[in-house]
Chain A
Amino acid sequence: MTNEDPDKKTTLAGDEGREGPVQEGAEKPVADEPGAERAGDESRVAGAPQEHEELRDEHGHRYLSPEAINAWRISGGLGSIVYWLIPLGYGALSMGGDMWPEWLAYVLGVIFLAYTILEGTVIPWIRWKRWRYHVDRNEIDLRRGLFIVTRTLIPIKRVQHVDTRQGPVYRQFGLASVAVTTAGDTHEIPALSEPVADDLRRTISEYARIAREDL
């Protein structure tokens, strides 16, 4: 799946103005935690994931798979169609009585249509640009958010289990999410390419195991 159109992905990554992402990605982790990344590298040789999945920012924090943008365009666009029920329902109501002004139905219709268009175009792109994750021996660091920018720290010690998840759209794009569960909540790192997701799941559960043994 992911092999098919590398050009497109490169341009998407290029928009970010990232210089030499591959090399940068290769250096950083070695400084961070050599052992684990080496193990990861081996599996990468076997699984042969794409280079662009190693996109990192200036702090060495990783981006999601650029495939995420297109996957989200489809899932978000389709998902937002559900909300059309609101203007449609209101429209049906407003036809019934004069208590409900009819113009509001059109306004709502335009708003929700615009929302679907945005979800199908620019929102996934911004979301992808904003998403950053970093995992080391001590903690998981997530940065994300379109309107609400959120940074979350999850100590590895608190991780109870890790799973990968894949819906129908993600499957089409060869993507998967990694869900990290603590005793209090679940955090999802969405839209990673399948080998990266598997790798990450293994890494996190390994770290969690070590952290538990240390305790």
Chain B
Amino acid sequence: MTEHENPSPSTPKPSGRSNTERPGESTAGSAPQNTSTETREIPLHEPRRQHPVAMLTFVFRTLRELIVPIIVIFFLGQGGGSPLFTWWGISLMLFVLFVTGVVNWLRFTWRVEKDELRIEQGLLVRRKRYVPRDRIQAIDISSGPVQRMFGLVRLNVLTAGGTSPEAQISALSRRDARTIQEALQVEARGPEVAGEDASWPVYRISRKRLLLAASTAGSFGVALSIVGTVMAQINQVITEEQMIRFVENWVGGTTTDFWITFIVLAVLAAWLLSLFGTLLRFSGFTLTRNGRELYIRRGLFEKKQITIPYHRIQAVRVVEGILRQPFGFAMVYVENAGFGDEGGKTTVVFPLLRKKELQRFLEDMLPEYDVVLPGVRPPGRAFLRYQIRTVVPALVAASALAWFLAWYWLIPVMFGAAGLMAWIRYRDAAAGFEGGRGFLRFRRLARTTVLFHRRRVQSLSVLANWFQRRKELCSISVTVASGRGGADFRVDHLEAEDGQEWLRWYGAAQQVASPADPAGQWPDWHAVPSAPAE
């Protein structure tokens, strides 16, 4: 939020365009022009180091990546050898890290030459990464806590074509970042630029919404695994008997009570963890756009700026979490192909929206996906298939648990719960298409609706197992690109004839030459005039 320094807001977009024609001059010409307050002495084509703070950021980044092994070693070390050994080990490691940081900094240079960002790094193996301007999709400027402390920024170069790696300069002054941006990107990008133009809509998360989003996040999978790891570590310090005694004293009761307490505590811890995780992640969430891309700003400590060019969006996913659906809330994601980290793969474009607001949101922010499509649902005879698919695994799991813990009541409870779940899954499943657009809706736990364009679908499969074939049912699976891999979406137990319809719909598109493809008639994002006319 402190980033008030605006990368030349006065520079209009068209001026950037005109620079594209004369890239040679733009490097030399624009630099002194834009940084009029202080003239830059070092020309851009001379190799330059990062700001020395890069050493620090390297150390912190590596530490963060190694945090789990460090903790494990710490605990193991405590158990086995003397504490002195552990401390020596840690100081040695820090020393090595720091030296590596210094060496890395010394060997890392960047320059802009011949329309390329040229980064050279590495001690023994020299790595040269020359990123031509044509390949650069966007330049992302963000700042972590360390960078902010020194008033610096981190610059990420996001390249086209997911396979080529992006480049990063982890610490440099805002001025340098801006110069690089201007020299390479030419067009000024960033949320400020989009925000300047009042005609583009802005979506900002309110504090109340954020809290609601966080408390219903329920990303239990991740959280539970972390809690599990911590619990396992605790086991090394406190024995199980001690814990049981503790529970007996404080809660009172038997081993079963202990386990129940344990589970309740674990779930509570997981919930809190996901609550705070979500708060940190989505705090200050702001979504803006211009004619070509979406901008996201979010995060409390680590502020993230994400740029999603519209032409990279492969599909939109509306997820109604099981805790959120009853309140009529949903989360919106986009699948996007190409560059890695947060910019690629699956990105949250808004953490919490009312179902009612969704249509408006899509019109504002994702206008290619704002159409309500007709769809089909599984036929009545599919109901049994849903029941079997859901109930059988649940019963197996319940029986195993019941066997080990002698909780026989679990079997009927799970039976009922799974039956209910199966019914909801059956009721929620749907698929449909019209023209060049399609959607799939299905539920694992959360109800997910995927909206996509036929021209974005990488492959389409229709599957039918033996049981489905007997009942003339089928499943439809759609693959879209997402990040460097893909994402599969699948709806089960539809009418077999519907599967054939989907194959025809998808196959037909290929028979037509591309200009006549209905998808081709839709506005190309590069050609959209600068107002959200739709």
Interface string of B441-477 (1 = CB under 8 A from A): 0000000000000000111111111100100000000
CB < 8 Å neighbour of B458 from A147, A158, A214: A158
Check A153–B459 contact: CB distance below 8 A: yes
Check B463–A184 contact: CB distance below 8 A: no
Check B480–A184 contact: CB distance below 8 A: yes
Q: Quick check: which of B78-86, B189-197, B508-516 contacts chain A, the rest being far away?
A: B508-516
| Interfacial chain B residues near A153, Cβ < 8 Å | 459-461, 503, 506-507, 510
What residue of chain B has the Cβ atom nearest to residue A156's Cβ? B510
Interface string of A134-160 (1 = CB under 8 A from B): 000011010001011111111111100
The answer to whether the Cβ of A171 comes within 8 Å of any Cβ in the partner chain is no
Check A151–B503 contact: CB distance below 8 A: yes
Check B513–A147 contact: CB distance below 8 A: no
Q: Quick check: which of B234-242, B376-384, B481-489 contacts chain A, the rest being far away?
A: B481-489
Check B460–A185 contact: CB distance below 8 A: no
Known: A182-B459, A184-B482. A147 touches B514 (CB 8 A): no
Check B460–A182 contact: CB distance below 8 A: no
Check A139–B486 contact: CB distance below 8 A: no
CB < 8 Å neighbour of B462 from A150, A156, A185, A214: A150
The answer to whether the Cβ of B337 comes within 8 Å of any Cβ in the partner chain is yes
Interface centre among B462, B469, B486, B510 (most CB of A within 10 A): B510
The answer to whether the Cβ of A8 comes within 8 Å of any Cβ in the partner chain is no
Check A214–B486 contact: CB distance below 8 A: no
Check A183–B503 contact: CB distance below 8 A: no
Check B481–A182 contact: CB distance below 8 A: yes
The answer to whether the Cβ of B479 comes within 8 Å of any Cβ in the partner chain is yes
Shortest beta-carbon distance, A50 to chain B, in Å? 30
Q: Which of the four size classes fits the interface of chain B?
A: 20 to 34
Check A157–B486 contact: CB distance below 8 A: no
Check B461–A147 contact: CB distance below 8 A: no
| Interfacial chain B residues near A149, Cβ < 8 Å | 463-465, 469
Shortest beta-carbon distance, B268 to chain A, in Å? 31
| Interfacial chain A residues near B486, Cβ < 8 Å | 182-185
The A-contacting residues of B in range 114-150, CB under 8 angstroms, are none
The answer to whether the Cβ of A187 comes within 8 Å of any Cβ in the partner chain is yes
| Interfacial chain A residues near B466, Cβ < 8 Å | 147-148
- Measured CB to CB, the residues of A under 8 A from B are 138-139, 141, 145, 147-158, 182-185, 187, 214-215
Since A158-B457, A184-B487 are in contact, a sample of 18 more A-B pairs with Cβ atoms closer than 8 Å, ordered by chain A residue number, is: A138-B510, A138-B511, A149-B469, A152-B462, A153-B459, A154-B459, A155-B459, A156-B510, A158-B459, A182-B459, A183-B337, A183-B486, A184-B459, A184-B486, A185-B458, A185-B479, A187-B459, A214-B513
17 sampled A-B residue pairs with Cβ under 8 A:
A138-B507, A139-B507, A141-B507, A148-B464, A149-B465, A150-B463, A151-B462, A153-B503, A153-B507, A156-B510, A157-B514, A184-B481, A184-B485, A185-B459, A185-B479, A185-B485, A214-B513
Nearest 7 CB-CB pairings of A with B: A184-B486, A184-B458, A183-B481, A138-B510, A182-B458, A152-B461, A184-B479
- Measured CB to CB, the residues of B under 8 A from A are 162, 337, 457-466, 469, 479-482, 485-488, 503, 506-507, 509-511, 513-514
